[in-house]
Amino acid sequence: MIMKFNTIINYLGWASGIFGGLLMLGGVIGFFTGNEFLSVKNFFNFFFIANSFIILGIFLLVGTRCFCCCCCKEDECCKEEKKEK
């Protein structure tokens, strides 16, 4: 059950990061075209929203990676962490 939850959170992190990247790409396209892009006049609005999704994605990915070792002992990152100690 916990491994499914970690996998879902991991996929949400990737989706959030990709969506933030697409918003940044929209901002770059809006900057270079100079006119309305997707009904947005000011290109910096894309960047203003994108940073929230990228930071959310980073936190979700970091949170599921190596801070989950207390609840799932069979995870690969937990085994590597125990070998280093």
Q: Could you give the C-alpha distances from 42 to 20, 30, 47, 48, 51, in angstroms and in order?
A: 17, 8, 10, 11, 16
**pLDDT value of position 8:** 84
The residue extents of the domains of the chain are: 2-84
pTM for the whole structure? 0.68
What is the mean pLDDT, run by run of 10 residues, along the chain of 85 residues?
Answer: 76 91 87 77 81 89 67 57 54
**pLDDT value of position 82:** 56
**pLDDT value of position 21:** 92
**Do the Cβ atoms of 37 and 71 come closer than 8 Å?**
no
φ/ψ bin of 68: left (φ > 0), alpha (ψ from -120 to 50), beta (otherwise): alpha
**pLDDT value of position 18:** 93
**pLDDT value of position 36:** 74
